[in-house]
Amino acid sequence: MTQITIRRPDDWHLHLRDGNMLQAVAPETARHFERAIIMPNLVPPVVTGAQASAYRDRILATLPEGSRFEPLMTLYLTEDTDAEDLARAHADGLIKAVKLYPAGATTNSASGVKNFDTVRPVLEKMAEIGCPLCVHGEVVDDDIDIFDREAVFIDRILDPLRQATPGLRVVMEHITTAQGAAYARSGGKDLGATITTHHLVINRNAMLVGGIKPHYYCLPVAKREEHRLALRKAATSGEACYFLGTDSAPHLDGAKLSACGCAGCFTATNTLSILAEVFEQDGALDKLEGFASLNGPAFYGLPVNTGTLTLTKGDPVTYPEKIVTPEGDVTVFDPMMPLHWRVD
């Protein structure tokens, strides 16, 4: 096969930031994607409907003329979240989900949840109104090794939380382990999981062998090869519970290349070429559309996009190494393999 046409894809987990960074990175996603779930971990975070509405306007203002890109907004769950404000924003169609960060788990998560019992009434409201909860699934306990934090989160927090709140729809964001893939598969119609592009490509060696490579550091951190292979199997399986959430997370190079570097891989620019390469390697090009364009809308109860996107195979395609912002550069994820699929 040398050409493939799929329904226009969506990104179910994206960081666009704000200000100059937003201006620089929004077109990178809008070029290929029709919609994206926009992460609310700004500083300060997007916690109210009014803030989500204002942020949505700022995103729309950065889009190139004629762009049809639709940002799907989320709220950042805190221990002070107002359930009524949340329900109103959801009923108005302004927000499509709420994001749960365990406090301290990742970039800009300080306002996240420490005691999961405090948010129980909000979660019950969300179950009642059918608003999905997007979960950053890592425990933050000092005694848990960073490579085990996802698996422990499933046992200690996620499974009890789901048992206690029947009907709550949950997306396990950016799963990175075989345990995450297995739990997502076992959860029935109320459970889904996003998988990033980069976790299909790198294992932890990419980050640590031959010198430390900050551009491959993200959270949840890439795991052993056996986990990457489990994620590849899940993503290319066509199963409805798995869909694309790139977690494209831009940071200025100065903040990445530092003694205490930020977590995040910026993949918006070349994600679709990488995905086509990955799915072809696994003999699953026919499953790319499900993963990138169909399973996500089905989970979120949204229509599939009407437009299409065509990828053509040929000589290796190149992408810019960096996206330039007035404050500095953002390095585009290097998949360490030639990419042969060009987005037409």
Q: How many angstroms separate the CA atoms of 86 and 106, rounded?
A: 23
- Omega before 214 within 30 of 0, i.e. cis: no
Q: Which does 203 bind (CB under 5 to 8 A by kind): Zn ion, ligand NCD, none?
A: none
> Contact between 222 and ligand NCD (CB under 6 A)?
no
Q: Would residue 329 show up in a list of annotated catalytic residues for this protein?
A: no
Q: Indicate which single residue of 4, 231, 249, 285 sits in contact with ligand NCD (rule: CB under 6 A).
A: 249
For residues 62 and 108, which CB has a smaller minimum distance to ligand NCD in the complex?
A: 108
> Contact between 264 and ligand NCD (CB under 6 A)?
yes
User: Residues binding ligand NCD: what is the number (CB under 6 A)?
Assistant: 12
Calculate the alpha carbon distances from 220 to 136, 137, 177, 242, 324 in Å.
8, 8, 10, 17, 26
Q: Which does 263 bind (CB under 5 to 8 A by kind): ligand NCD, Zn ion, none?
A: ligand NCD
> Contact between 28 and Zn ion (CB under 5 A)?
no
For ligand NCD, the binding residues in 100-129 under the rule CB under 6 A are: 106-108
Q: How many angstroms separate the CA atoms of 228 and 230, rounded?
A: 5
Q: Indicate which single residue of 138, 150, 247, 289 sits in contact with Zn ion (rule: CB under 5 A).
A: 247
Alpha-carbon Rg for the chain in angstroms? 19
∠ at Cα 171 (90, 331), nearest 5°?
A: 100
> Contact between 199 and ligand NCD (CB under 6 A)?
no
For residues 174 and 228, which CB has a smaller minimum distance to Zn ion in the complex?
A: 174
* Four-residue CA torsion sign, 231, 234, 240, 243: positive
Minimum distance from residue 19 beta carbon to ligand NCD (Å): 15
Q: How many angstroms separate the CA atoms of 133 and 123, rounded?
A: 8
Q: Could you tell me which of 174, 171, 181, 95 has the C-alpha nearest to residue 134?
A: 171
Q: Indicate which single residue of 125, 136, 223, 227 sits in contact with ligand NCD (rule: CB under 6 A).
A: 136
Strand, coil or helix: 42: coil
> Contact between 263 and ligand NCD (CB under 6 A)?
yes
Task: Catalytic residue, from 92, 247, 282, 344: name it.
Answer: 247
Q: Which residue has the tokens 């053509």?
A: 312
For ligand NCD, the binding residues in 269-308 under the rule CB under 6 A are: none
Contact region with Zn ion (CB under 5 A), list: 73-81, 90-98, 243-251, 332-340: 243-251
> Contact between 96 and ligand NCD (CB under 6 A)?
no
Minimum distance from residue 168 beta carbon to ligand NCD (Å): 21
Contacts of 171 (CB under 8 A, 6+ apart): 12, 97, 132, 133, 134, 135, 191, 192, 193, 194, 245, 299
Q: Which two tokens stand for residue 302?
A: 């949204």
Q: Indicate which single residue of 10, 247, 280, 289 sits in contact with ligand NCD (rule: CB under 6 A).
A: 247
Expressed in angstroms, the distance from the first to the final Cα of the chain is: 15
> Contact between 150 and Zn ion (CB under 5 A)?
no
Active-site annotation, residues: 247
Interface with ligand NCD by CB under 6 A: which residues?
15, 41, 106-108, 136, 218-219, 247, 249, 263-264
Interface with Zn ion by CB under 5 A: which residues?
247
